[in-house]
Structure 1
Amino acid sequence: MATVGEALALAVEHHGAGRFAEAGELYRRILDAVPGQPLALHYLGVLHAQCGRAERAVVLIRRAVAVDPAVADSHANLAGALRACGRAAEAVAPLARAARLAGTDARRWSELGVALRGTGEAAGARRALAAAVALDPAEPQTWHTLGLAAEESGDRRAAADAHARAGALDPGLLSSRLAEAGLRAGLGQAERAERVLDALIADAPDLAPARFNRAALLQDRGRRSAAEAGFRAALCLDPADADAWHALAGLDREAVRLARAVARCRRALVLRPLFEAARLDLRFLMSRDVPAWHFTMLADEVRNDAYRRAIEKAVTPGCRVLEIGTGAGLLALFAARAGAGEVHTCEVSAALAAVARGVVADNGYADRITVHHKRSADLRPGIDLPGRADVLVSEILDAGLLGEGHAPSVRHAVAELLKPGGRVIPAAATVHLVAIEAPAAAATQPIRTVCGFDLSRLEAYRNPSYAALSLTDLPHRRLTDAVPVARIDLADPPLPGPMGRAVLTAGAAGTVHAVAFWYDLHVDAEITVSTGPDGGCRHWLQAVQFLEAPVTVTAGQALAAEMRYVAGRLTVSVA
Structure 2
Amino acid sequence: MATVEEALLLAVDHHTAGRLAEAETLYGRILDAVPDQPDTLHFLGVLSAQCGYPNRAIALIRHAIAVNGTVPDYHTNLANALRAAGRLTEVPAVLRRAALLAPPEARRWSHLGMAHRQNGDAAATRRAFETALLLAPTDAQVLHTLALTCEALGDPRAALAAHSRAAAISPSLLSSRLAAATLHARFGDGAADRILSALIADAPDLAAAHHNRAALLQEQGRMAEAAAGFRTALTLEPADADAWYALATLDKEAQRLGPAVARYRRALAVRPDFEEAHLDLRFLQSREIPSWHFTMLADSARNEAYRRAIEKAVTPGCRVLEIGTGAGLLALIAARAGAGEVHTCELSAPLAAVARGVVADNGYANRVTVHHKRSNELRVGADLPDRADILVSEILDSGLLGEGHAPSVRHAVAELLKPGATVIPAAATLWAVPIEAPSLAATHPIRSVCGFDLSRLEAYRNPAYSALSLTDLPHRRLAEPAMVARFDLANPPLPGPVGDCTFAIAAPGTVHAVAFWYDLHLDAEITVSTGPKGECRHWLQAVQFLDRTVDVTPGDTLPARMRYVAGRLVVSITSPLPPPAGEGDFQLTPRLRTGRLSDSG
Using the size of structure 1 for normalisation, the TM-score is 0.92
Task: Label 1:474 to 1:56 Cα distance change in 2 as closer, same or farther (>3 A).
Answer: same
| 1:76 lines up with 2:73 in the alignment | no
- Paired position in structure 1 for 2:508: 509
Contact between 1:402 and 1:569, CA under 8 Å: does it hold in 2? yes
- Paired position in structure 2 for 1:222: 221
Contact between 2:7 and 2:30, CA under 8 Å: does it hold in 1? no
- CA distance in 2: counterparts of 1:556 and 1:100, whole angstroms: 104
- Paired position in structure 2 for 1:149: 149
Q: Which moved more, 1:540-549 or 1:160-169?
A: 160-169
- CA distance in 2: counterparts of 1:216 and 1:54, whole angstroms: 46
- CA distance in 1: counterparts of 2:363 and 2:26, whole angstroms: 80
- Paired position in structure 2 for 1:55: 55
**Code of the aligned partner of 1:281:** D
Q: Which moved more, 1:75-84 or 1:133-142?
A: 75-84
- CA distance in 1: counterparts of 2:54 and 2:415, whole angstroms: 87
1:454-533 matches, within 5 Å, as: 454-533=453-532
**Code of the aligned partner of 1:174:** L
Q: CA deviation at 1:342?
A: 2.4
| 1:105 lines up with 2:102 in the alignment | no
Q: CA deviation at 1:464?
A: 0.5
Residue 484 of structure 2 aligns to a residue whose secondary structure is strand
Residue 326 of structure 1 aligns to a residue whose secondary structure is coil
Q: CA deviation at 1:102?
A: 4.0
Residue 501 of structure 1 aligns to a residue whose secondary structure is strand
- CA distance in 2: counterparts of 1:122 and 1:518, whole angstroms: 67
Q: Which moved more, 1:456-465 or 1:518-527?
A: 456-465
- CA distance in 1: counterparts of 2:531 and 2:494, whole angstroms: 25
Q: CA deviation at 1:69?
A: 4.2
Task: Label 1:77 to 1:520 Cα distance change in 2 as closer, same or farther (>3 A).
Answer: same
Residue 511 of structure 1 aligns to a residue whose secondary structure is strand
Q: CA deviation at 1:172?
A: 2.4
Q: Which moved more, 1:201-210 or 1:65-74?
A: 65-74
Contact between 1:156 and 1:187, CA under 8 Å: does it hold in 2? no
Contact between 1:133 and 1:142, CA under 8 Å: does it hold in 2? yes
Residue 178 of structure 1 aligns to a residue whose secondary structure is helix
- Any idea what the Cα deviations from partners look like across 1:201-228, whole Å, max 9, x if unmatched? 2222112222222222222221111112
| 1:376 lines up with 2:405 in the alignment | no
1:184-199 matches, within 5 Å, as: 184-189=184-189, 191-199=190-198
- Paired position in structure 1 for 2:558: 559
Q: CA deviation at 1:22?
A: 7.8
**Code of the aligned partner of 2:510:** T
| 1:309 lines up with 2:312 in the alignment | no
Q: CA deviation at 1:348?
A: 1.5
Q: Which moved more, 1:83-92 or 1:507-516?
A: 507-516
Q: CA deviation at 1:456?
A: 2.6
- Any idea what the Cα deviations from partners look like across 1:76-118, whole Å, max 9, x if unmatched? 3322221122211111111223334447322222111110010
Q: CA deviation at 1:521?
A: 0.4
Unaligned runs of 5+ in 1: none
- CA distance in 2: counterparts of 1:167 and 1:276, whole angstroms: 33
- Paired position in structure 2 for 1:118: 118
- CA distance in 2: counterparts of 1:194 and 1:270, whole angstroms: 31
**Code of the aligned partner of 1:196:** I
**Code of the aligned partner of 1:379:** L
- CA distance in 1: counterparts of 2:367 and 2:412, whole angstroms: 20
- CA distance in 1: counterparts of 2:344 and 2:521, whole angstroms: 22
- Any idea what the Cα deviations from partners look like across 1:219-244, whole Å, max 9, x if unmatched? 22211111121122122222333333
- Any idea what the Cα deviations from partners look like across 1:519-558, whole Å, max 9, x if unmatched? 1001111110000121121221111112223333333433
- Any idea what the Cα deviations from partners look like across 1:20-54, whole Å, max 9, x if unmatched? 77876776677667655655544554454455443
| 1:11 lines up with 2:2 in the alignment | no
- CA distance in 2: counterparts of 1:153 and 1:101, whole angstroms: 29
**Code of the aligned partner of 1:246:** Y
Task: Label 1:313 to 1:75 Cα distance change in 2 as closer, same or farther (>3 A).
Answer: same
- CA distance in 2: counterparts of 1:394 and 1:139, whole angstroms: 75
- CA distance in 2: counterparts of 1:388 and 1:439, whole angstroms: 51
Contact between 1:8 and 1:26, CA under 8 Å: does it hold in 2? no
- CA distance in 1: counterparts of 2:433 and 2:518, whole angstroms: 12
Q: Which moved more, 1:107-116 or 1:544-553?
A: 544-553
Q: CA deviation at 1:354?
A: 2.2
| 1:282 lines up with 2:281 in the alignment | yes
Task: Label 1:33 to 1:453 Cα distance change in 2 as closer, same or farther (>3 A).
Answer: farther
Using the size of structure 2 for normalisation, the TM-score is 0.88
Contact between 1:12 and 1:23, CA under 8 Å: does it hold in 2? no
Contact between 1:194 and 1:217, CA under 8 Å: does it hold in 2? yes
Q: CA deviation at 1:256?
A: 2.1
- Paired position in structure 1 for 2:577: none
- CA distance in 2: counterparts of 1:552 and 1:120, whole angstroms: 75
**Code of the aligned partner of 2:136:** D
Q: CA deviation at 1:400?
A: 0.5
- Any idea what the Cα deviations from partners look like across 1:478-498, whole Å, max 9, x if unmatched? 222222121122111111222
- Paired position in structure 2 for 1:130: 130
Q: Which moved more, 1:563-572 or 1:60-69?
A: 60-69
- CA distance in 2: counterparts of 1:367 and 1:45, whole angstroms: 70
- CA distance in 1: counterparts of 2:27 and 2:331, whole angstroms: 87
- CA distance in 1: counterparts of 2:31 and 2:314, whole angstroms: 98
- Paired position in structure 2 for 1:295: 294
- CA distance in 2: counterparts of 1:31 and 1:382, whole angstroms: 95
Task: Label 1:450 to 1:101 Cα distance change in 2 as closer, same or farther (>3 A).
Answer: farther
Unaligned runs of 5+ in 2: 575-601
- Any idea what the Cα deviations from partners look like across 1:449-475, whole Å, max 9, x if unmatched? 333443332221111010011112222
- CA distance in 2: counterparts of 1:414 and 1:22, whole angstroms: 95
Task: Label 1:123 to 1:540 Cα distance change in 2 as closer, same or farther (>3 A).
Answer: same
Residue 288 of structure 2 aligns to a residue whose secondary structure is coil
- CA distance in 2: counterparts of 1:254 and 1:325, whole angstroms: 30
C-alpha RMSD over aligned residues: 2.6
**Code of the aligned partner of 2:138:** A
Contact between 1:11 and 1:23, CA under 8 Å: does it hold in 2? no
1:261-280 matches, within 5 Å, as: 261-280=260-279
Identical residues among aligned pairs (%): 69
- CA distance in 2: counterparts of 1:240 and 1:29, whole angstroms: 55
- CA distance in 2: counterparts of 1:485 and 1:212, whole angstroms: 64
Residue 551 of structure 1 aligns to a residue whose secondary structure is strand
**Code of the aligned partner of 1:243:** D
Contact between 2:430 and 2:519, CA under 8 Å: does it hold in 1? yes
- CA distance in 2: counterparts of 1:323 and 1:214, whole angstroms: 52
Q: CA deviation at 1:272?
A: 3.5
- CA distance in 2: counterparts of 1:373 and 1:308, whole angstroms: 24
Contact between 2:8 and 2:30, CA under 8 Å: does it hold in 1? no
- CA distance in 1: counterparts of 2:471 and 2:492, whole angstroms: 30
- CA distance in 2: counterparts of 1:186 and 1:16, whole angstroms: 55
Residue 288 of structure 1 aligns to a residue whose secondary structure is helix
- CA distance in 2: counterparts of 1:270 and 1:422, whole angstroms: 48
- CA distance in 2: counterparts of 1:551 and 1:16, whole angstroms: 109
Contact between 1:511 and 1:550, CA under 8 Å: does it hold in 2? yes
Contact between 1:157 and 1:187, CA under 8 Å: does it hold in 2? no
Q: CA deviation at 1:138?
A: 1.0
- Any idea what the Cα deviations from partners look like across 1:495-523, whole Å, max 9, x if unmatched? 12222222223333233222211110011
